[in-house]
């Protein structure tokens, strides 16, 4: 007796051709990444190119881990910004600090993780696993930031988006003067109007230099509440007229800061919403330790961070970001057309105004409901 074919056997047959020497990166993903983590990366690449990068979707990118020292800022993030594939960013301050080395024309070198760090310290060499650079790179970058932070425009309170936008202008000027081309995330974000936030602004060498200037009563005063409200406003506006996507490399504080926009809108501000629509994460963290870096999109649904109706449009790739980022960048550039730049940085006041009005309406409705439910006192 023949059985009816199982619905579970409707997937494409696994029988790829031999890999040829001329195969392109996007074709490699589509034709040969068929199972296990490669299969998840293919699913993530297609989610990115076919859904997340549609014109109506606002895309947020989060960056954690030492990505820029490995050259992934200039090789991947800058081309993504240029193509209009990223609308806003949350990054560790460390990634932005090391990004500045490239914009300032400083040298990073490929090395080995199996070196005697006592000898490196004696010879003035700093190591990030197998990336090596001179200790003078740190000192010269610090000197650049302190000089910039002493400029009149930084003698004020501001959120990190405004802070990085102003830094980006100086970085772009240095790029141009040194004829480096587009090599810095900060300068590219300034050029294309992409707001860049740091969820822990004191937790990096940039923050350390800001703190040093404050000892002299100079420099910027960072307003972290502005960042919370601006990022929530970006997502609120995105969901009013379109969709919201989060593209997460690593985890940590940047991941949380990007995802907390929805609980801020729903739980704290009381504005009706359902969560982000698309979720793509590259991580090497396990979910069973309870840390956010490994937390799944399904878990995020319970917090209101991800729309439960859109959970099938979520992919987690358990893979090193340094492997996945170039592949996903190449795939997106090959399979998706360029998008117009939203220039969300220029629209921050407008977006905040929309969020404030929605919050006030929510407060009014809650207060009216509370009055209706309160027992009347006898005269």
In the prediction, which pLDDT does 331 show? 98
Check residue 155 and give its pLDDT. Answer: 97
Which pLDDT belongs to residue 379? 46
Q: In this predicted structure, what is the pLDDT of residue 25? A: 94
What secondary structure, in 3-state letters, does the chain show?
CCCCCCHHHCCCCCCCCCCCCCCCHHHHHHHHCCCHHHHHHHHHHHHHHHHHCCCCEEEEEEECCCCHHHCHHHHHHHHHHHCCCCCEEEECHHHHHHHHHHHCCCCCEECCCCCCHHHHHHCCEEEECCEEEEHHHHHHHHHHHHHHHCCHHHCCEECHHHHHHHHHHHHHHHHHHHCCCCCCHHHHHHHHCCCEECCCCCCCHHHHHHHHHHHCCCCCEECHHHHHHHHHHHHHHHHHHCEEEEEEECCHHHHHHHHCHHHHHHHHCCCCCCCECEEEEEECCCHHHCCHHHCCHHHHHHCCCECHHHHHHEEEEECCHHHHHHHHHHHHHHHCCCCCCCCHHHHHHHHHHHHHHHHHHHHHHHHHHHHHHCCCCCC
Does domain 46-370 bear CATH number 3.40.910.10?
yes
The residues spanned by each domain of the chain are 46-370
Taking only the tens of pLDDT, the chain with its 379 residues reads 678 889 999 888 899 999 999 999 999 999 999 999 999 999 999 999 999 999 999 999 999 989 999 999 999 999 999 999 999 999 999 999 999 999 999 999 999 999 999 999 999 999 999 999 999 999 999 999 999 999 999 999 999 999 999 999 999 999 999 999 999 999 999 999 999 999 999 999 999 999 999 999 999 999 999 999 999 999 999 999 899 999 999 988 999 999 999 999 999 999 999 999 999 999 988 888 787 788 778 888 888 888 888 888 899 999 999 999 999 999 999 999 889 999 999 999 999 999 999 999 998 877 777 666 766 655 4
Residues labelled catalytic: 305
């Amino acid at each position: 007796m023949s059985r009816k074919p199982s619905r579970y056997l409707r997937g494409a047959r696994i029988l790829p051709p031999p890999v040829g020497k001329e195969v392109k990166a996007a074709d490699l993903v589509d034709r040969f990444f068929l199972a296990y983590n490669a299969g998840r990366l293919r699913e993530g690449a297609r989610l990115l190119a076919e859904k997340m990068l549609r014109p109506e979707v606002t895309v947020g990118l989060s960056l954690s881990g030492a990505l820029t020292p490995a050259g992934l800022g200039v090789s991947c993030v800058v081309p993504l910004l240029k193509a209009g594939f990223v609308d806003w960013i949350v990054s560790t301050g460390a990634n932005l600090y090391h990004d500045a080395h490239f914009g300032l024309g400083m040298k990073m070198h490929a090395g080995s993780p199996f070196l005697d760090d006592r000898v490196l310290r004696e010879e003035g060499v700093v190591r990030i696993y197998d990336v090596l650079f001179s200790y003078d790179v740190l000192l010269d970058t610090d000197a650049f930031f302190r000089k910039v932070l002493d400029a009149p425009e930084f003698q004020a309170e501001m959120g990190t988006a405004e802070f990085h936008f102003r830094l980006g202008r100086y970085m772009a000027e240095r790029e141009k003067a040194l004829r480096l081309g587009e090599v810095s995330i900060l300068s590219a974000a300034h050029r294309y109007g992409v707001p860049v936030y740091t969820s822990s602004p004191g937790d990096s060498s940039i923050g350390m230099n800001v703190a040093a200037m404050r000892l002299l009563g100079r420099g910027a005063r960072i307003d972290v509440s502005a960042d919370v409200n601006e990022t929530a406003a970006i997502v609120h506006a995105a969901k009013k007229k379109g969709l919201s996507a989060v593209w997460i490399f690593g985890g940590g504080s940047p991941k949380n800061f990007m995802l907390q926009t929805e609980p801020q809108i729903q739980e704290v501000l009381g504005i009706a919403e359902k969560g982000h629509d698309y979720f793509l994460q590259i991580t090497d963290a396990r979910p069973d330790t309870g840390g956010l870096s490994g937390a799944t999109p399904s878990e995020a649904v319970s917090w209101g961070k991800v729309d439960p109706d859109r959970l099938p449009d979520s992919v987690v790739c358990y893979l090193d970001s340094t492997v996945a980022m170039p592949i996903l960048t190449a795939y997106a550039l090959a399979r998706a057309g360029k998008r117009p730049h939203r220039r969300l940085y220029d629209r921050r006041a407008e977006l905040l105004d929309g969020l404030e009005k929605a919050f006030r309406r929510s407060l009014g409705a809650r207060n009216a409901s509370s009055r209706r439910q309160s027992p009347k006192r006898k005269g």
